[in-house]
Amino acid sequence: MDSVAEVKEGLGEVGYLADEPAALVAYLAQELGKPVLVEGPAGVGKTELAKAISRATGRALIRLQCYEGLDEAKALYEWNYRKQLLRIQASGDQSDERWEDIFSEEFLLTRPLLEAISSEQPVVLLIDEIDKTDQEFEAMLLEVLSDFQISIPELGRIEARSHPIVLLTSNNTRELTEALKRRCLYLWLDYPGVEREMEIVRLHAPELDERLARRLVEVVHMVRQLDLKKPPSIAESIDWARVLLLLGADDIDRSVFERTMNIIVKHRSDIDLVAERVGVQLGQPGLEAGAAG
């Protein structure tokens, strides 16, 4: 993909409707070799962008799912201590041979970051929800993101055999360090407007007619305007469209909405609020979803 237009087209062919900023950043990530930090609310397609780039480029996707307490052993590498112990025991009394090669690649357990760096084929590396880790973990990442290399005391420096496309996602739950941000291109993804989300829904549920797709998206936007623990994601909009098709629904009235709103609303307190605010409005005669405040 040699231009922004080709990137946009390529992503569309694999089911991801990228806007101009997303297509531009995906193109620059490949051409400049810089990692991309993608921030935005949960459910707007940050992770899916990395998956789509993987599909569009034919590169394998390597994913590091971040969480609180993630350390180097789970992200970079660790030694296979059981195998090392067996080798020592098998060496018997030959003390010189006992320690000779237990710190070789044979005993190394690669984790996602090292796997991406050492891969002979170009990959897409997704570091998902980096905001769930701490600043110490970010500091560890700097060597990887700056020089695409990892230092292992027992083996030395391992440099990238191919240049990965790296995407880091963040739900913006905490401020990331300036050192990390300086090394990255930046993309903010937000919930799409009605027209764009209609395109996305109909791409993945093409049997859904345009009128019902618009109705669905307008209702989803009404739900997102409420103060919820978890607003509906774009993926949940697509799931809802598929459910409506399976049920043979030709409209979204109060009855259909209350039967199926668990597809887009996933917290008990949210269900009560949505039923009260949106379900009641849908039950009013002649009320269009888009006219509800």
> What secondary structure, in 3-state letters, does 238-272 show?
HHHHHHHHHHCCCCCCHHHHHHHHHHCCCCHHHHH
pLDDT classification of 292: cutoffs 50, 70, 90: very low
Neighbour-count burial for 172-198, b at 16+ CB within 10 Å, e otherwise: eeeebeeebeebbbebebebbeeeebb
- Measured between alpha carbons, how far is 224 from 185 in angstroms, rounded to an integer? 28
Distance from the Cα of residue 272 to its chain's centroid:
29
Query: Whole-prediction pTM value?
Result: 0.86
CATH T-level fold of 4-76+111-188: Rossmann fold (3.40.50)
CA distances from 105 to 43, 118, 154, 159, 255 (A): 39, 11, 10, 14, 61
Helices 234-247 and 194-204: crossing angle in degrees, nearest 10, is 60
User: Checking DSSP bridges between strand 149-152 and strand 156-159, what pairing results, if any?
Assistant: antiparallel
Domain coordinates in residue numbering, the chain: 4-76+111-188, 82-106, 194-291
Distances (CA, A) of 176 to 95, 242, 261, 276: 48, 37, 35, 38
pLDDT at 287 over 50: no
Q: SS3 for 193-219, per residue?
A: CHHHHHHHHHHHCCCCCHHHHHHHHHH
Of 127, 242, 233, 5, residue with least CA distance to 13: 5
pLDDT tier, 279 (very low <50, low <70, confident <90, very high otherwise): confident
For tokens 């897409």, what's the residue?
124
Residue carrying the six token digits 């992200």: 75
What's the confidence (pLDDT) of residue 96? Answer: 55
Residue 291, pLDDT score: 43
Give the pLDDT of residue 1.
74
What average pLDDT does the structure give for the chain? Answer: 89
Q: Is the pLDDT of residue 225 over 90?
A: yes
Which residues does 24 contact at the CB level (< 8 Å), separation at least 6?
4, 7
More confident residue, 99 or 244: 244
Residue whose C-alpha is closest to residue 22's, from 172, 188, 167: 188
In this structure, of 18-27, 155-164, 205-214, the range with the lowest mean pLDDT score is 155-164
Residue 109 has pLDDT above 50, yes or no: yes
